[in-house]
């Protein structure tokens, strides 16, 4: 019997929430502890930590769900071209933002010489992007969304995980100023809504994962291969501590995707 057909109490929702977060933290701790067995290179340590953490997180989530809810996160099998499409969308969104800046605003943009590129660091950052995208989408847009949707409604199931996910990212800000916090909170909510809409529209959590992963991968790779920043003191253009990924042009592109997905849901009458 799937999650949609199982009665679920509030206390069970709370306990499963706690269970997922404990497993998430446990896998993170194992990943961190594994670093001590890998030499002295910080980038290799980071990459190895993600290689350990990501599958451990997914397997533990699957175990908890099968034990308690017996509910899959992939409702629809899809053609490989659909998978490529969402990977493309994830890469396209930050690329469009960069093209906008280069075309219409003053930016500092310089491609680094190949001799200065740290390929080990790029590999570590790619593993981080994959690990973050997979584990976060499984938790927030996958299991927590399904739990809340069973007890409440779709809007609540979208907004609460998005809010929790966004506020947790405050921990990673280097400086907790208004100029950094507000863009992060706004962009985090918009991205959380967009990832959920991708999942709802396609019925496959991996599409939300791909969009998340490729947005992060584009950013970390471009930051390592180029020297790029917007020449402005306007936080709407710079995005504060999250840089251009939290800027007004970036958020406009995310909102356009949300609107397009919502129109598609209404057009094909997807039950939400």
Q: Could you report the average pLDDT of every consecutive run of 10 residues in the chain (272 residues)?
A: 56 83 90 86 85 88 74 67 93 91 78 82 88 90 86 92 93 85 95 96 92 94 81 83 86 96 82 52
Q: Is 68 inside a domain boundary? A: no
Domain that holds residue 85: 76-268
Q: Is 2 inside a domain boundary? A: no
pLDDT at 192: 97
* pTM of structure: 0.86
Write out 4-39 in H/E/C secondary structure: HHCCCCHHHHHHHHHHHHHHHHHHHHHHHHHHHHCC
Q: Is 167 inside a domain boundary? A: yes
Q: Is 207 inside a domain boundary? A: yes
pLDDT at 17: 81
Q: Is 163 inside a domain boundary? A: yes
Looking up tokens 């057009």, which residue turns up?
A: 267
pLDDT at 1: 40
Q: Is 187 inside a domain boundary? A: yes
Q: How many domains does the chain have?
A: 1
pLDDT at 118: 84
Q: Is 23 inside a domain boundary? A: no
Q: Is 194 inside a domain boundary? A: yes
């Amino acid at each position: 019997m799937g999650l949609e057909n199982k009665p679920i109490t509030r206390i069970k929702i709370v306990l499963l929430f706690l269970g997922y977060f404990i497993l998430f933290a446990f896998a993170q701790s194992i990943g961190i502890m594994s670093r001590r067995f890998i030499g002295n290179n910080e980038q290799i340590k980071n990459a190895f930590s993600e290689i350990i953490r990501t599958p451990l997180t997914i397997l533990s989530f699957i175990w908890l769900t099968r034990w308690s809810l017996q509910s899959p996160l992939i409702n629809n099998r899809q053609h490989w071209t659909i998978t490529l499409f969402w990977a493309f969308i994830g890469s396209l969104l930050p690329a469009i933002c960069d093209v906008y800046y280069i075309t219409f605003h003053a930016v500092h943009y310089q491609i680094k010489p190949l001799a200065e590129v740290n390929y080990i660091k790029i590999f570590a950052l790619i593993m981080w992007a994959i690990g973050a995208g997979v584990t976060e989408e499984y938790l927030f847009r996958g299991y927590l969304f399904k739990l809340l949707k069973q007890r409440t409604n779709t809007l609540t199931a979208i907004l609460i995980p998005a809010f929790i996910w966004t506020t947790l990212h405050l921990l990673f800000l280097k400086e907790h100023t208004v100029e950094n916090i507000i863009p992060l909170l706004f962009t985090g909510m918009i991205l959380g809504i967009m990832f959920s809409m991708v999942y709802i529209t396609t019925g496959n959590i991996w599409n939300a994962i791909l969009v998340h992963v490729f947005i992060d991968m584009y950013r970390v790779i471009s930051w390592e291969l180029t020297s790029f920043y917007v020449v402005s003191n306007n936080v709407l253009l710079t995005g504060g501590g999250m840089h251009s990924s939290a800027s007004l042009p970036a958020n406009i592109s995310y909102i356009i995707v949300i609107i397009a997905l919502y129109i598609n849901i209404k057009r094909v009458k997807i039950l939400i």
